[in-house]
């Protein structure tokens, strides 16, 4: 189970369980990935606003946050700081919002590769890499200009 920093994977799913982003920082085979996606969906969508944003999940825990119809989930070690990753998710969503100018689910669908770029700019190898929104956005614009 080794081979990564604390983040095991990042998932964005909608309420129906459609994957909008799946970034794996741990090696799983394809079947396992699908299984995980389904399990996360099952665990997360049954929870509502009165619940905490943390769920224990296998040997890990999932820190998630719901924005409109989308669930942003990060799977980390049990010992890790829940609040920090919760803030990390929010930070990520704010960057997406800025980058896509009022992001909506369809933006993520049609530009899924850009979303991966955003993830890669903010997280790397399972670790939070950049937290400054301005820096990330600047970098993203640079990358876009290369297209």
Catalog residues that contact another protein under the rule CB under 8 A: 1-6, 18-19, 21-22, 24-25, 27-30, 33-34, 37, 50-56, 59, 80-84, 86-87, 109-110, 112-113, 116-117, 120, 124-125, 127-132, 135, 139, 142-143, 146-147
To the nearest whole angstrom, how small is the minimum distance from the Cβ of residue 98 to another protein? 19
Cβ proximity of 31 and 44 under 8 Å: no
Residues ≥6 apart with Cβ < 8 Å to 41:
13, 17, 71
To the nearest whole angstrom, how small is the minimum distance from the Cβ of residue 23 to another protein? 8
Query: At 73, is the secondary structure helix, strand, or coil?
Result: strand
Residues ≥6 apart with Cβ < 8 Å to 147:
none
Of the pair 68, 132, the CB lying nearest another protein is at 132
């Amino acid at each position: 189970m080794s081979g990564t920093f604390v983040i095991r994977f990042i998932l964005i799913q909608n309420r129906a369980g459609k994957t909008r982003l799946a970034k794996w920082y741990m090696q799983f085979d394809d079947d396992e990935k699908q299984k995980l996606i389904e399990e996360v969906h099952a665990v997360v969508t049954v929870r509502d606003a009165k619940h905490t944003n943390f769920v224990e999940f296998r040997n890990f825990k999932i820190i998630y946050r719901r924005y409109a119809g989308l669930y942003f989930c990060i799977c980390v070690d049990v010992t890790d700081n829940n609040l920090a990753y919760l803030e990390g998710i929010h930070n990520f969503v704010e960057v997406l919002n800025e980058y896509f100018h009022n992001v909506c689910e369809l933006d993520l669908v049609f530009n899924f590769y850009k979303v991966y770029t955003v993830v890669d700019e903010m997280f790397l190898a399972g670790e939070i890499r950049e937290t400054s929104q301005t820096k990330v956005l600047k970098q993203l614009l640079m990358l876009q200009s290369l297209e």
